[in-house]
């Protein structure tokens, strides 16, 4: 596997790959790789000639009060995982050179970035959209692979690609979970053993709501109250939001239906976790 650390080197590799008429799949990550990330790698390898992963804990998407400094970093282990999986190249930029000292250009995907995670983290999606657009210009992939775990992010990037008339395709893959249902996440490593046990309540609460929907419940407020009451059972869980929204607009809805997103964000101890259910989500949704 090629390891590139400078923008020029990965650009040269991408240019050569394109000159050979090979398709490129890009899987952007912040590292501390787990089987959720690896599912994206496997799909990229299956569908593209060349798979490029990136590992970059992007400072632009963290507010000063957030967990940038303690975010898990395990580069050597990540490189081994990517090599074993068959990824062709990894781009691991240096934060000091990735953004020049006078960097001042940002991408705002306005209305979609304001609610859900955007309420507590008002500059988060600006950082995400900016880093993704910069990576797209550098790596020039045909397809970008993202996870449903970060649905709002995938929705925002879909909008950005459309608004800026970009040709890159987007493939969003379903959430990969641990055996007890907890969504795989790099942040899970930050949980204490007891917090780790409590954290799977997020998944169970979402499941409870999905089961109620299968039984005929359609009222968003009833479902929200049901999730809130499930999460209240743990003194370690502090809810940021429980949202029932339309996936396209990310605006609240009163009655659930096709394309409804049920999303939760909660602190388990000091660690903020997110999880969601997308009603009628199809495997390998091509957007
Ligand atoms: P991150 O490293 O957390 O920025 O995530 C990089 C990519 O992996 C994003 O597109 C995430 O949505 C995706 N991802 C993270 N966790 C999971 C998971 N449990 N299942 C599926 N995709 C995931």
CB of 36 closer than 6 angstroms to any ligand 1 atom:
yes
Give residue 52 CA to ligand 1 midpoint distance, Å: 15
Please pick, among 37, 124, 137, 204, the residue that the annotation labels catalytic: 37
Q: Which residues of the chain have pLDDT under 70?
A: 281-287
pLDDT value at residue 284: 47
Does 183 sit in the ligand 1 pocket, CB within 6 Å?
Answer: yes
> 57: how many CB neighbours lie within 10 A of its CB?
18
- Closest atom of ligand 1 to 175 CA is 20
What is the distance between the alpha carbons of residues 143 and 140, in angstroms, rounded to a whole number? Answer: 9
**Whole-number pLDDT of residue 282:** 53
**Atom 10 of ligand 1: nearest residue by CA position:** 146
Dihedral sign for Cα 165, 166, 168, 170, please.
negative
149 lines ligand 1 (CB under 6 A): yes
Q: Give the pLDDT of residue 283.
A: 46
Separation between Cα atoms, residue 17 and residue 74, nearest integer Å: 28
CA distance 155 to 159: 6
64 CA → ligand 1 middle, Å = 22
What is the Cβ-side half-sphere exposure of residue 76, based on CA atoms within 13 angstroms?
Answer: 0
Atom index in ligand 1 nearest the CA of residue 30 equals: 2
Q: Mutate which of 143, 147, 174, 188 to test ligand 1's pocket (most atoms within 8 Å of Cβ)?
A: 147
């Amino acid at each position: 596997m090629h390891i590139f650390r400078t923008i020029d080197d990965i650009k040269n590799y991408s240019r050569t790959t394109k000159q050979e008429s090979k398709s490129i799949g890009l899987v952007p990550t912040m590292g501390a790789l787990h089987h959720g990330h690896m599912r994206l790698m496997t799909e990229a390898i299956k569908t593209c000639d060349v798979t490029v992963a990136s590992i970059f804990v992007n400072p632009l998407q963290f507010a000063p009060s957030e967990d940038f400094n303690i975010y898990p970093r395990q580069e050597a282990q990540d490189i081994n995982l990517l090599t074993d999986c068959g990824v062709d190249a990894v781009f691991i930029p240096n934060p000091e050179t990735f953004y020049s000292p006078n960097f001042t250009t940002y991408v705002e995907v306005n209305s979609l970035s304001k609610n859900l995670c955007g309420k507590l983290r008002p500059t988060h999606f600006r950082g995400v959209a900016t880093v993704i657009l910069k990576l797209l210009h550098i790596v020039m992939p045909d397809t970008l692979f993202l996870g449903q775990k970060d649905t709002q992010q995938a929705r925002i990037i879909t909008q950005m690609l459309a608004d800026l008339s970009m040709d890159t395709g987007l493939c969003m893959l379903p959430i990969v979970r641990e055996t007890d249902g907890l969504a795989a996440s790099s942040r899970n490593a930050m949980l204490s053993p007891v917090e780790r046990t409590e954290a799977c309540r997020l998944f169970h609460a979402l499941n409870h709501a999905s089961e109620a929907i299968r039984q005929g419940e359609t009222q968003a407020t009833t479902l929200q109250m049901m999730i809130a009451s499930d999460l209240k059972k743990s003194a370690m869980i502090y809810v940021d939001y429980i949202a029932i929204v339309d996936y396209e607009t990310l605006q609240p809805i009163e009655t659930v239906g096709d394309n409804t997103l049920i999303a939760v964000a909660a602190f388990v101890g000091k660690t903020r976790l997110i999880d969601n259910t997308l009603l009628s989500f199809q495997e390998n949704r091509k957007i």
